[in-house]
Amino acid sequence: MEDVFRTLGYENVRQAEKTADEGRDVIMEEVVDGTRRAIVVECKHTGTVGRPVVQKLHSAIATFDFDGPKRGMVVTTGRFTSPAQEYADRLQQNNDPHPIELLDGEDLREIADEIGLDLYNGRIEILCDETLRPYDPATDLDAPIQEAFHDIENIEAADLPTPHSAVTFRPVVAVTADTNAVFETSVGVIHRINDQTRFVAHAERGQPQVVDENVATLVTENLHATVVLDSEQLGEIFDEVEERRFGQTQTGYKEWTVERLQQHHTTTVTYTGDNNVTYNKTCEPNLSDISVQSIEPVFLPEVRQMTEIQEYTYPYEYYAAGPSRVTAEDGIHQCVYCDTSGVDETYTYCPNCGAIACSTHIKTERLEGEPICTGCAVTERFALKTKYFYDGQNLEAFREEYADMPLHEKTMENKWLAGGSVVATLLLVVGLLVIGGII
């Protein structure tokens, strides 16, 4: 409810003290015709709210310490009984100095929908229809895949099949907060914090998780260029579209931010006292020292494209913001036979089976002279050297060819063997010449 009232424009919205609240859950203020008025709110997450709750709040308003006019509000996710509604109506009709407004679950849902919040299982969730661009409208949707395959040897991007493309819109919040704290002892100021923090966190169900620096930069640099999330329209572009829900309230993210920054800025300071003794003091900022300036919700598109080539499927996953993106998973620059991965390695495509392999697992097919991976090649040793073939038919063809080769050509099928034979022959000749006294 804090989120709802704050978004509606009420001022100084805060929760009342948890102990002995006397029916006061939220306290806030409004300015009407130049006059500031306090509003005391009672919140109920129940099926029905009866007249005693409204009467109790009326008494709580009367005893609330505020220098000015006051009114009340009861908000429930359920409904009000007839006696409760009649009591509130009578206060209005009698011009009571402390009138009470009633908002039931239906009213609350309408208000929340108007201001971009959603009541879900008794919680006010963030509703957001703004997203970073899931693709670059100036290029083809498959452009990132074609770019990723660009440096894979022995394959042309134009020959790639159309990948299966899915997009998941992941909720994130961009948070800006200030921390200002001064720590003093008898010797004066020993530590000072004056810091503004801006970070981005995944905002799905469960504990928020801060995104890495590259993803945070992607979000913050593109917040000015968001578009409306239209799942129906995007369904005509992507094969699958999924939209996740925000997992907490704005207040929940605010409290998490404050606790996180409090832990982050807590440090132990060593200082020397007046008595020339060294002391250690833990400097932990108070919650009031941390001020959350803004919490900006937005959807971050996570695009996953799967390219199926013969026996293999290559995933490529990235966070998108129009033409900008941050790679989350690159299954293209990764050998299918070992742990070699990363764009700094050399990879070659095997047209025989569709494998992408590192230089260790790519050989040259003997008859065709084209690359073939070690996983699908048929092998046999000729001139003590292993040869690689696309299939048994190619192997059989080379056997016949090899059988007809003269000895020197057969020897050349193993260049190391041929080279070694030449060296051995030269050494033998030199040895004979030395023995004969010729040299």
What is the model's pLDDT at position 439?
A: 67
3-state secondary structure of 177: strand
Confidence band, pLDDT 50/70/90 cuts, at residue 254: confident
Confidence band, pLDDT 50/70/90 cuts, at residue 432: low
Which residue, 84, 125, 127, is CA-closest to 104? 84
Q: In this model, does residue 431 exceed pLDDT 70?
A: no
- Taking residues 260-271, what's their average pLDDT? 95
What is the model's pLDDT at position 222?
A: 96
Q: How many CA atoms lie within 13 A of 274 on its CB side?
A: 4
What is the model's pLDDT at position 419?
A: 52
What is the model's pLDDT at position 418?
A: 47
Which residue, 369, 399, 354, is CA-closest to 381? 399
Tens-place pLDDT, residues 147-201: 999 999 999 888 899 999 999 999 999 999 999 999 999 899 999 999 999 999 9
- Taking residues 276-299, what's their average pLDDT? 92
d(CA 108, CA 78): 10
The mean pLDDT value of the chain amounts to: 89
Tokens of 92: 């209005």
Confidence band, pLDDT 50/70/90 cuts, at residue 223: very high
- Taking residues 227-250, what's their average pLDDT? 91
Tokens of 45: 């997450």
d(CA 42, CA 36): 20
Stated as kind and residue range, the H or E segment containing 89 is helix 82-93
- Taking residues 110-128, what's their average pLDDT? 70
Tokens of 275: 């008595």
Tokens of 101: 């407004």
Share of the chain above pLDDT 70, in %: 91
Contact 31, 37 (CB under 8 A): yes
- Taking residues 69-79, what's their average pLDDT? 92
177: left (phi over 0), alpha (psi -120 to 50) or beta: beta
Tokens of 65: 């310490």
- Taking residues 371-376, what's their average pLDDT? 96
Contact 173, 218 (CB under 8 A): no
Give phi and psi for 93, each to the nearest 5.
-65, -30
Exposed / middle / buried, residue 373 (Cβ in 10 Å: 0-12, 13-18, 19+): buried
**Which has more confidence, 16 or 42?**
42
Stated as kind and residue range, the H or E segment containing 319 is strand 312-321
Rg of the chain over all Cα atoms, to the nearest angstrom: 37
Q: In this model, does residue 304 exceed pLDDT 60?
A: yes
CA separation (Å) from 52 to 57, 144, 387, 437?
A: 9, 63, 91, 127
Q: In this model, does residue 124 exceed pLDDT 70?
A: no
Tokens of 131: 């997203």
Contact 129, 271 (CB under 8 A): no
What is the model's pLDDT at position 429?
A: 56
Share of the chain above pLDDT 90, in %: 68
- Taking residues 208-218, what's their average pLDDT? 96
Give phi and psi for 6, each to the nearest 5.
-65, -40
Which residue, 333, 328, 128, is CA-closest to 218? 328
| The residue type at 191 | H
Q: Which residues in 105-243 belong to E strands, given as ranges?
A: 117-120, 123-126, 130-131, 164-185, 188-202, 209-210, 227-228, 240-243
Q: In this model, does residue 248 exceed pLDDT 70?
A: yes
Give phi and psi for 340, each to the nearest 5.
-65, 130
**Which has more confidence, 110 or 119?**
110
Contact 227, 133 (CB under 8 A): yes
Contact 57, 89 (CB under 8 A): no
- Taking residues 215-231, what's their average pLDDT? 94
